[in-house]
Amino acid sequence: MIVEFDHQDSDLYEQYLHLRYKIFYSEFNWHSLNVDVLNQITLSENTDEQAIFFGYLVNGNLIAIVRLVSSTKAVPYQEIYENYIEQKKFPEKFVVINSLAVEKPFRGKRQYQLAKSDIGTIADLLMEHVENYSIRHGMNAIVFTAGCNASSKFFDRHDYTRISDCYTKPWAPTKLVDYLVKL
């Protein structure tokens, strides 16, 4: 079941921070994240108060997550997107997503009904939800950065538009690529 929450929903938000630690910090080696290793949790980011979060629940536990921030409120990871914004490559209203992640045992399993009458993965469901939410809230595009690895293969499969070649950042454990989805 997909759930929507914000930073004030203490239970789901805490589960989000723990799952982000488990997947991004421990599994994918994003050691540039601010974390509390003792409690195995990432710390809140400065744009979390402006964010909406979607998750997928199984038996009351989040097993998949994604974070959205509207450009009308803030732009997380401004340093990645500032050139695109200055060059007006993004529409006026867009959503930045990040931290799309699914726990390993649930990844890649095409067994969930999508609105398009396809069968897809939990990540497909979350992205479908992100797109619908963004359209309902008057956004014209979704922008995000992904690793040039299995993540980029997932987004390429969806025909999302790459707007950069793969590049490196000193804080990233993998090469990155930027995407734009016009709605």
pLDDT tens sequence across 107-165: 988 888 887 768 889 999 999 999 999 999 999 999 999 999 878 888 988 879 999 99
Q: Supply the pLDDT for residue 116.
A: 72
Q: Supply the pLDDT for residue 152.
A: 87
Residues in Cβ contact with 117 at an 8 Å cutoff, skipping those fewer than 6 apart: none
Q: Is 165 exposed, middle or buried (0-12, 13-18, 19+ CB in 10 A)?
A: exposed
pLDDT at 182 over 70: yes
For the segment 19-35, what is each residue's pLDDT rounded down to a tens digit? 999 999 999 999 999 99
Q: Could you tell me the CATH number of the domain that includes residue 118?
A: 3.40.630.30
Q: Supply the pLDDT for residue 110.
A: 86
Q: Supply the pLDDT for residue 117.
A: 67
Q: Is 144 exposed, middle or buried (0-12, 13-18, 19+ CB in 10 A)?
A: buried
Q: Supply the pLDDT for residue 138.
A: 95
> C-alpha distances in angstroms, 122 versus 46, 64, 160, 168?
27, 7, 17, 28
Q: How many CB atoms are closer than 10 A to CB 164?
A: 15
Residue 40, domain extent: 2-182
Residues in Cβ contact with 153 at an 8 Å cutoff, skipping those fewer than 6 apart: none
Q: What percent of the chain has a predicted confidence (pLDDT) above 90?
A: 74
Distance CA 142, CA 91 (A): 10
pLDDT at 82 over 70: yes
Q: Supply the pLDDT for residue 157.
A: 84
Q: Supply the pLDDT for residue 114.
A: 82
Per the structure, the count of domains in the chain is: 1
Tell me if residue 90 falls in helix, strand or coil.
coil
Element (H, E) at 69: strand 61-70
> Considering the entire predicted model, what is its pTM?
0.91
For the segment 34-52, what is each residue's pLDDT rounded down to a tens digit? 999 999 999 999 999 999 9
